[in-house]
Structure 1
Amino acid sequence: MSLNFSLNKSVTYLSLLFVGATASLLGTQLLPTNAVLVQQQVAQLPSALPGNTDSNFIAAAVERTGPAVVRIDSSRTMRNRSARPGGRVVQGTGSGFIIQSDGLILTNAHVVNRADTVTVTLRDGRNFTGKVLGQDQLTDVAVVKIQANNLPAVNLGNSEQLRPGEWAIAIGNPLGLDNTVTAGIISATGRSSSDVGVPDKRIGFIQTDAAINPGNSGGPLLNQQGQVIGMNTAIIGGAQGLGFAIPINRAQQIANQLIAEGRVTHPYLGVQMTTLTPDLRETLSRDSNGRVQVQPNQGVVIVGVAQNSPAARAGLRTGDVIQQINGQAVKTAADVQQAVENSRIGVSLPLQVSRNGSNLTVSISPAEFPTS
């Protein structure tokens, strides 16, 4: 069944056939370098936190972590489509941070994507040629290695323990201004990829109002102790105080796989879905001329199924409402995405769905997310 839905909210995708980030959300490394700097209103910071003897906890955090923050310059040659030799060189600048003293660095995948050369510059001015050990486009995480020892390294925090309202400190190289420090708060946690406008990503983002600008991509987001709790990755163009970071627990998980295997595999169902709302129930019925009738009041409704996907082979249909995955109730599209991400490729995954008023159990075997 093929329907033309006019949905008001963004939908979450688990299929490359439905990939498409909104143009207003750009990786911060990719925005124009001549962007206008806008002064932001920042709440006055306290001279000291209760129980903190340091007169400036932000400065103390930066002193602990700043030496491990690096600038990453990448370049690649855009080949001519004609027979003439040569091509146009595209250059980009981002940030990164050293996670091990032997030269392992975390950054965003879009900072080094398809780069011919990668140059890493430390805060003390030393330059190194970087080698990309692996990158994962679905989470925008990459690992770069430089040949050096006894380097300063960051301390990693626990992004699972973050609460909105906590302090957030960003360090990076925005607009060519190396070692820039900005501060704000954690505005929210668990922002889904569809909330942010990048439905092709598999991340629950940290939202922060700490100023993030082009060149901050891949740099660390710190807590008040100077521990890394996120990796800055994106902003919403035209807005102020809307920056997003990858939780460090997730980034570290992906990095470990990239270091060990050079790649990351993601389970894939092949459905386009969105969280069920009363308005969406009406839209589904109206746009299908009554052929799709959704009975439940909550759950995750399938609004598209990719051809030849695991979902298609399992018999899932447009209008099915996912109620449970592997015996656990799901209420939002983010719940389904997380459950699928936690599943295993090729291992049967039971889904309980509601279809036109009847409850069905469907067994589906996730495949590896297509890479092309």
Structure 2
Amino acid sequence: MKDYKKIGLTFFVALFSAFIAVWAYSAFFSKTQIVTVPQEQSLRYASLPSAPQGQAPDLTYAAGSSVHAVVHVKVTSTQEARQFHNNPFYEWFYGDRYQQRQPQVRQGAGSGVILSNDGYIVTNNHVIDGADDIQVVLNDNRQFEAKLIGADPTTDIAVLKVEEEDLPFLQFGNSDALKLGEWVLAVGNPFNLTSTVTAGIVSAKSRNIGINRAEMGIEAFIQTDAAVNPGNSGGALVNMNGELVGINTAIASRTGSYSGYSFAVPASIVEKVVGDLKEFGQVQRAILGVNIGDVTAEVAEKYDLDKIEGVFIGKVNENSAAEAAGIEDEDVILSVDGVSVNSTAQLQEQVSQHRPGDKVKVLIKRDNKPKQFTVTLRNMHGDTEIIKASDNNFLGAKFDELTEDEKYQLRLSHGIKITDLDKGKLKDAGLKEGFIVTDVNKEEVKAVNDFKRIVSQAKGGVLIEGLYSNGEPAYFVFGMN
């Protein structure tokens, strides 16, 4: 009996001890911890790093160093106003005729960027196209008359010069090194609001938007979301170091005003074009001589390509740089001088930085295997000749290419204009200053070099067709003997 009492007492003590232990643990150790968050404290997801406080991009240096080097460009041009007849009977007998009216004065404005302390300025070709007078207004309100040094419609770049010293200017930056998401500033004069700075990021590179209608036009725009409006054309796109990385040129808009995206010619192209215009008076365009297209899924499947990459060559032109180097139809261009190219715009951007006669390393994929070629670039005529503006003097005449405005007014797609006429075969044949040559021996004349080449190769007679600035057509014939 005593044994049962001892066992019972032991069991009771053990049970009581367990109860005390459970109560103590619940009371002191297992209570849910509640953290009260003050209302003014921001809440963050634990999986996302918080933005560092006070680390927003500081754009003040870039803005301060660039705003004084961006100018306001004002242009004035005189246009002949013409009223075309709509009478079909009149046109049946006389053709498309018009009545002369009083000339109209047109005024426009844009922006420009000073590139040197002695007054060289870059802007867009469409800002000064057809201008009779160009005025440049500095950020400090000084105003100068500007001289047009040269223009290139294929890249929409033009160079001006003002006679002044010690001007603030911007240095070129490396547009190839720009990264998506990098901060940039657009500086210009939108809506005549001078010295306006807007900020954004690089949204895309080597963008082709189909806006440049010039013959062999080049589009490899830097796309940004910095606000750009009419009047910004020709202004600066600068990086955070205050370096010029592009020239603002166009906007994507259904209203004519900024609606999200803007486009700039990259500095890599601008710098080369400016150098050509200053040194030669015209751009030295180098080409590979191939018909190209982007590599799509359909192209890759059709030609059994292992990857969707590079630029597809549909045809290699005769007497071209590519043909001379050994490049063939249906090759795929992977890179130029080590820079990968995956679109026609990227390929054009890389080649446009060179002159005829330059050698470039072109990596080709043929039968899905890489093969490298050294290509000596040529001009559109199949040689490596460098052409200077002074070469425009031929047969006693000096020529100039038509502006886009002149082409529009005269309904022409090509032609060159006689700007000065001295003793020679052209004057003897009856041509006059202002005459526009459109065709020679039934071949189109798109540049001065076309005219020289066709006439030089002519055997016997030369037939020149064209019209005067009032629209009156004419033709002339003379012999080369």
TM range (shorter): 0.5 to 0.7
- Taking structure 2 as the reference length, what is the TM-score of the superposition? 0.54
1:226–1:346: structure 2 CA closer, same or farther, 3 Å change rule? Answer: closer
Decide whether the 8 Å contact of 1:208 with 1:243 is kept in 2. yes
Letter in 2 for 1:145: K
Contact 1:294 1:321 in 2 (8 A): no
Distance change >3 Å, CA 47–CA 72, structure 1 → 2: farther
Task: Name the residue aligned to 1:124.
Answer: 140
SS in 2 for 1:178: coil
- Partner residue in 1 for 2:79: 78
SS where residue 210 of structure 1 aligns?
coil
- In the alignment, what sits opposite 2:130? 114
> For residue 259 of structure 2, what is the aligned residue in structure 1?
240
Question: What amino acid maps onto 1:63 in structure 2?
Answer: G
Which residue in the other structure is 2:284 paired with? Answer: 265
Q: Please list, as runs of the form range in 1=range in 2, the aligned pairs for 1:165-314 lying within 5 A after superposition.
A: 165-188=181-204, 190-192=205-207, 194=208, 198=212, 200-238=216-254, 240-269=259-288, 271-280=290-299, 294-298=303-307, 299-302=310-313, 310=320
Distance 1:263 1:145 in 2: 15
Q: How does 1:130-149 map to 2 (within 5 A)?
A: 130-149=146-165
1: distance between equivalents of 2:349 and 2:167? Answer: 35
Provide the rounded CA distance (Å) in 2 between the counterparts of 1:178 and 1:167: 22
Contact 1:65/1:155 (8 A) holds in 2? no
The aligned amino acid for 1:261 is F
- Shift, 1:167, TM fit: 1.6
How far does residue 350 in structure 1 lie from its aligned partner after superposition?
Answer: 9.7
Distance (Å, rounded) in 1 between the aligned partners of 2:359 and 2:187: 43
Relative to structure 2, which stretch is displaced further, 231-240 or 318-327?
318-327
- Higher helix share goes to which structure? 2
Task: Classify the secondary structure of the residue corresponding to 2:59.
Answer: helix
Q: What is aligned with 1:290?
A: none
Q: 1:94·1:173 contact (CA, 8 Å) conserved in 2?
A: yes
Query: 1:266 Cα deviation (Å)?
Result: 0.9
Structure 1 residues 362 and 124, CA gap change in structure 2 (3 angstroms): closer
Call closer, same or farther: CA 1:59–1:90 in 2, change over 3 Å: same
- Show structure 1 runs of 5+ residues with no match: 1-44, 283-292
2:72 alignment partner AA: R
Assess if the C-alpha contact under 8 Å between 1:320 and 1:353 holds in 2. no
What is the number of equivalent residue pairs in this alignment? 309
Say if 2:333 and 2:364, in contact at 8 Å, map to a contact too.
Answer: yes
- How many percent of aligned residue pairs carry the same amino acid? 34
What displacement does 1:368 show?
A: 2.5
Structure 2 gaps of 5+ residues are 1-50, 83-97, 382-445, 448-481
Contact 2:219 2:345 in 1 (8 A): no
Quick check: 159-168 or 317-326, which moved more? 317-326
Inter-CA distance 356–215: structure 2 relative to 1 (3 Å threshold): same
Distance 2:285 2:154 in 1: 8
Larger radius of gyration: 2
- The Cα RMSD (Å) is 4.0
- 1:31-54 Cα deviation digits (max 9, x unpaired): xxxxxxxxxxxxxx999647x9xx
Q: Residue 67 of structure 1 aligns to which amino acid in structure 2?
A: H
Cα separation, 1, equivalents of 2:202 and 2:341 = 26
